[in-house]
C-alpha cells in the first residue's frame, strides 16, 4: 500500500550500529532486509562510495540520452554524499497488527503489518520515538486499520524530526472515532517525548492506497514545527512538504544560491520565481540584495509557513530584497503573468512527475527569462521536461544523494538561454 521508502549510508570506513542496521566499510547491513521482510533499499549491501559513483553516472547518462549534444557543455560538480544511515528525518509508518501489539512499518503482500520501527535509515530521534508511538496506539486504544478486512481506525503514523530534536507526530485516522482518546493522551505523550511540538490527526476515510486525507485536526497548541535547513528556519505545517534528508537539503539550497549568484548577482537585482516553493527553502535562500523573489505553491498552509519565515528574516514582501509568496497552481500562475513581468531566473522544484508539457512549454516560450534552476527528484521526468525546452542550454549540474541505498537522487541543473 504506502511504500515506506528507506535509505542509509556513510562513505569510507565509518561503522555505525543501530538496532537493526549497521554500516562498516561503507556497506549497510540491515536485519529486516536479511530476514526478507523489507526490500525497500534496493542498493543495500553495495559500498556507499560505489552507490554515489553509480548515481552520478546514471544521471549523466539519462540526461545525455535525452539532450544529445546539448548535454556536452554541462559542467558537472562532484556528487554530494549523505550519511549512509540515520539520515531520514521523515517517517511514514503504516500501522498494522492489533491494539495490544501494533506494527509500525509496511504491509506485507497479504496486507498485514510488518514492523520496521528500528529501521536504520531513520534519525536516532525517530528511532527512539517509535516504541513510544507504539505504546500510544495501545494507550489510546486506536485499532490499527486492517486492510484485507477494511476494518479499524489508525492507518499511518507520520513523524518528522527537526535537526534540533523537535518532533511532529501525525496520526492518520479513518474517522473521528478515536480522536477524543488521542487528544486525551497528549500530556502522556509529552512526558515520554519531551521534544514533541506538534500532535495532529489527519482524517482519511476512503479505503484506498492514499497516505493522508484533506482534513487535519491539530491537537497540540503549536501547529508548526520549526525546521532549520541550510541557512533558514522553515515552519513545517502538518500537511506541508519537507525534504526527507535535511543535511543534503541544506547543501542543495546553498548550491542553488551559489549558482544563482553566479548567474544573477543579488546586488544587481532582478526578478526570481520559485515555482513549487513549499515552505520557501529555495526562495528564502535566494532572497536578499536587490533581487525580488516570488514563491508559488499550491498548498496554502505552506505559503503561510513561508511567509512566517520571511517575516522572521525581516525581509519585505515587495520591492528590492523582497519575497512574496502566492498560493496558486504553478502552471496556471506562470501562464497568467504578463510578458512585461518576465523573470530573469526561474527556480523549479516540482513533485516526482515533473513540470509537464504546459509549464515546460511556458518556460520555453518565456523570452525574457535568462536562467532556470531545476531541482528534480526524478531524473527521468527532468530529462523529459528539458527535452521539451530545446532553447535552454544546461550549463551546470550536480547530483545530491538525498535517498542513499536506492537508485533515486536529487539533481540540480542550471540552464541558460
Ligand X SMILES: C[S@@+](CC[C@H](N)C(=O)[O-])C[C@H]1O[C@@H](n2cnc3c(N)ncnc32)[C@H](O)[C@@H]1O
Residues recognised as catalytic: 377
Distance between CA atoms of residues 144 and 163, nearest Å:
30
Half-sphere exposure of 174 (CA within 13 A, CB side): 19
Distance between CA atoms of residues 364 and 380, nearest Å:
19
Options 99-107, 132-140, 148-156, 277-285: segment touching ligand X (CB under 6 A):
277-285
Report phi then psi at 91, rounded to 5.
-115, 130
Options 68-76, 191-199, 274-282, 317-325: segment touching ligand X (CB under 6 A):
274-282
Determine which helix (DSSP H) or strand (DSSP E) holds 299, and give its type and residue range: none
Options 135-143, 184-192, 293-301, 406-414: segment touching ligand X (CB under 6 A):
293-301
Is residue 326 a contact residue for ligand X (CB under 6 A)? no
Non-local (6+) Cβ contacts of 202 within 8 A are 158, 170, 171, 172, 173, 212, 213, 215, 216, 217, 238, 239
Is residue 364 a contact residue for ligand X (CB under 6 A)? no
Closest CB 348 distance from ligand X, rounded Å: 9
Is residue 282 a contact residue for ligand X (CB under 6 A)? yes
Name the residue with cell 511504500.
3
222 is in an annotated binding site: no
Q: How many C-beta neighbours within 10 Å does residue 194 have?
A: 9
Closest CB 352 distance from ligand X, rounded Å: 8
Among 298, 300, 313, 395, binds ligand X (CB under 6 A): 298
Is residue 244 a contact residue for ligand X (CB under 6 A)? no
346-373 burial, b for 16+ CB within 10 Å, e for fewer? Answer: bbbbbeeebbeeebbbbbbebeebbbbb
Is residue 278 a contact residue for ligand X (CB under 6 A)? yes
Is residue 241 a contact residue for ligand X (CB under 6 A)? yes
**Positive or negative CA dihedral for 294, 296, 300, 306?**
negative
DSSP symbol at 392: -
349 is in an annotated binding site: yes
Closest CB 283 distance from ligand X, rounded Å: 8
Q: Determine contact, residues 353/381, Cβ cutoff 8 Å.
A: yes
Is residue 374 a contact residue for ligand X (CB under 6 A)? no
DSSP symbol at 20: S
CA distances in angstroms from 209 to 178, 225, 258, 322, listed in the order given? 21, 27, 40, 41
Is residue 371 a contact residue for ligand X (CB under 6 A)? no
Q: In 3D, which of 103, 178, 97, 93 has the Cα closest to residue 134?
A: 103
End-to-end Cα spacing for the chain = 43
Which grid coordinates belong to 92? 511514514
Closest CB 243 distance from ligand X, rounded Å: 5
Q: 10 or 158, CB closer to ligand X?
A: 158
Among 23, 349, 398, 405, binds ligand X (CB under 6 A): 349
Among 103, 302, 405, 406, binds ligand X (CB under 6 A): 302
Q: 139 or 381, CB closer to ligand X?
A: 381
Closest CB 333 distance from ligand X, rounded Å: 8
Is residue 276 a contact residue for ligand X (CB under 6 A)? yes
Q: 159 or 182, CB closer to ligand X?
A: 159
Is residue 329 a contact residue for ligand X (CB under 6 A)? yes
Is residue 351 a contact residue for ligand X (CB under 6 A)? yes
Which grid coordinates belong to 107? 504491509
Q: 237 or 292, CB closer to ligand X?
A: 237
161 is in an annotated binding site: no
Is residue 250 a contact residue for ligand X (CB under 6 A)? no
- Sheet of 21-24, strands arranged across: 16-17, 21-24, 27-30
Is residue 216 a contact residue for ligand X (CB under 6 A)? no
Is residue 5 a contact residue for ligand X (CB under 6 A)? no
Q: 99 or 228, CB closer to ligand X?
A: 228
Residues at the annotated binding site? Answer: 243, 276, 297, 349
Binding-site residue ranges for S-adenosyl-L-methionine: 243, 276, 297, 349
Q: Which residues bind ligand X (CB under 6 A)?
A: 241, 243, 276-279, 281-282, 296-299, 302, 329-330, 349-351
Amino acid at each position: 500500500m504506502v511504500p515506506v521508502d528507506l535509505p542509509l549510508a556513510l562513505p569510507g570506513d565509518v561503522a555505525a550500529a543501530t538496532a537493526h542496521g549497521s554500516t562498516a566499510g561503507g556497506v549497510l547491513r540491515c536485519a529486516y532486509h536479511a530476514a526478507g521482510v523489507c526490500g525497500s533499499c534496493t542498493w543495500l549491501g553495495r559500498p556507499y562510495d560505489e552507490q554515489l559513483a553509480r548515481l552520478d553516472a546514471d544521471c549523466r547518462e539519462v540526461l545525455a540520452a535525452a539532450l544529445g549534444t546539448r548535454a556536452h557543455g554541462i559542467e558537472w560538480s562532484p556528487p554530494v554524499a549523505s550519511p549512509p544511515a540515520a539520515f531520514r528525518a521523515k517517517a511514514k509508518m503504516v500501522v498494522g497488527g492489533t491494539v495490544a501489539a501494533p506494527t509500525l512499518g509496511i504491509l506485507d503482500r497479504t496486507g498485514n503489518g510488518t514492523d520496521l520501527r528500528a529501521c536504520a535509515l531513520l534519525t536516532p530521534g525517530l528511532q527512539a520515538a517509535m516504541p513510544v508511538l507504539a505504546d500510544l496506539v495501545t494507550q489510546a486504544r486506536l485499532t490499527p486499520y486492517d486492510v484485507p478486512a477494511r476494518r479499524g481506525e489508525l492507518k499511518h503514523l507520520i513523524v518528522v524530526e527537526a535537526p534540533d530534536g523537535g518532533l511532529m507526530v501525525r496520526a492518520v485516522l479513518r474517522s473521528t472515532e478515536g480522536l477524543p482518546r488521542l487528544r486525551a493522551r497528549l500530556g502522556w505523550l509529552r512526558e515520554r517525548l519531551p521534544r514533541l511540538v506538534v500532535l495532529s490527526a489527519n482524517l482519511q476515510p476512503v479505503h484506498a492506497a492514499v497516505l493522508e486525507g484533506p482534513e487535519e485536526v491539530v491537537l497540540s497548541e503549536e501547529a508548526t514545527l520549526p525546521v532549520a535547513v541550510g541557512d533558514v528556519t522553515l515552519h513545517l505545517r502538518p500537511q506541508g512538504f519537507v525534504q526527507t534528508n535535511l543535511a543534503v537539503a541544506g547543501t542543495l539550497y546553498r548550491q542553488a544560491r551559489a549558482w544563482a549568484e553566479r548567474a544573477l548577482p543579488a546586488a544587481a537585482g532582478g526578478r526570481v520565481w520559485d515555482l513549487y516553493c513549499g515552505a520557501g527553502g529555495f526562495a528564502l535562500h535566494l532572497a536578499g540584495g536587490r533581487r525580488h523573489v516570488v514563491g508559488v505553491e499550491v498548498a496554502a498552509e505552506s505559503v503561510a509557513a513561508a511567509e512566517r519565515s520571511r517575516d522572521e528574516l525581516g525581509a519585505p514582501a515587495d520591492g528590492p530584497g523582497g519575497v512574496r509568496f502566492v498560493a496558486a497552481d504553478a502552471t496556471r500562475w506562470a501562464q497568467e503573468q504578463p510578458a512585461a513581468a518576465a523573470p530573469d531566473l526561474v527556480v523549479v522544484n516540482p513533485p516526482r512527475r515533473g513540470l509537464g508539457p504546459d509549464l515546460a512549454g511556458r518556460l520555453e516560450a518565456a523570452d525574457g527569462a535568462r536562467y532556470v534552476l531545476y531541482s528534480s527528484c526524478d531524473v527521468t521526468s527532468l530529462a523529459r521536461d528539458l527535452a521539451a525546452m530545446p532553447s535552454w542550454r544546461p550549463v551546470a549540474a550536480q547530483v545530491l544523494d538525498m535517498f542513499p541505498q536506492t537508485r533515486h537522487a536529487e539533481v540540480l541543473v542550471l540552464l541558460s538561454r
